[in-house]
Amino acid sequence: MSTTIDIMPVKTTEITFGQVIHLSEKHINSFLKSVGIEQNIQLTVNIHDNNEKYKFDIKLSDKFEWKDNEYAWFTIKGIAGGTDAHCKKIYDPQIDPKNPWWQLDELIENNKEIRNIEDKLEKVKKLDRMWYFRRSAGQPGIINISYGLISASVAELTSGLLSSTDGAWNYEEFPVESDDFLSFYFKPEKAKSKDYAEWAKSCIDGIEEDLLRPTKYRNNGDDTVETEDNNRNLWSILKSFFS
């Protein structure tokens, strides 16, 4: 099973990989300190073809965008596993020609906290961009936490809206803006269900092990030693099941 977090920019799409990485590291390291872990992490990212025909490194000054047939692969230095990010247009007349902005309907229906959401969605339409981050099953706890914080960082940089309908976090919390998301995401005491509270606590409890044993990737309970290339090949296999 995989889960995703969508980000719809409201004010701009003109951000760089460097900005995303810098702010994401700030939020992840701040979270680690909040749970008593002083070790700082470093993010790495490169671009892959969806069919793994090629991959290449990015420059920090590069725009935070890539082609439809590509994804950005975010990892934590020294940690196996990662999260894949995708970039696409929101306008989609193929699914519903009469309502090509159908992907925004649920945000209006479920909204509880965002002021003037209709006005913000009009700005979203003008930009016509969505990023989404995906977390596959079996990822280390630090990745489960980090992919949400990276998503929040992109939303913060773009004054964007965050949404998820597949269990990334409690469905009732979405849509949400970055500040509110950061106030509750992976905080057991603020989870609205016992299941999310226990999952958050389990991931937090496993962070130190993740950081101390960085070459171990817990895949559905089994420990397997992974080099970067082997981890990449494993992800290619896993991704094929969830695409």
pLDDT number for residue 208: 84
Q: In the structure, what pLDDT confidence band is assigned to residue 222 with cuts at 50, 70 and 90?
A: very low
Backbone angles phi, psi at 204, to 5 degrees: -60, -45
Instruction: Count other C-beta atoms under 10 Å from residue 126's C-beta.
Output: 9
User: What's the whole-number mean pLDDT along residues 29-55?
Assistant: 96
Section 74-81 average pLDDT: 93
Domain ranges of the chain: 2-242
- Per-residue model confidence as pLDDT tens digits over 162-200: 999 999 999 999 999 999 999 999 999 999 999 999 999
Q: How many CB atoms lie within 10 A of CB 26?
A: 13
Mean pLDDT confidence for 146-169 = 97
For tokens 């079996």, name the residue: 138
pLDDT band with cut points at 50, 70 and 90 for residue 211: confident
224: left (phi over 0), alpha (psi -120 to 50) or beta: beta
pLDDT given for residue 80 in this prediction: 87
Mean of the pLDDT values across residues 21-37? Answer: 97
Residue 217 has pLDDT above 60, yes or no: no
Per-residue pLDDT reduced to its tens digit, 84-95: 999 999 999 999
What does the block give as tokens for 67? 């082609």
For the four alpha carbons of 36, 42, 47 and 50, in that order, the dihedral sign comes to negative
| pLDDT at 213 > cutoff 60 | yes
Residue 214 banded pLDDT, cuts 50, 70, 90? low
**Residue 169 DSSP label:** S
CA–CA separation, 47 and 110 (whole Å): 33
**pLDDT > 60? residue 98:** yes
Reading phi first (left if > 0) and then psi (alpha if -120 to 50, else beta), residue 52 is in: left
End-to-end Cα spacing for the chain: 11
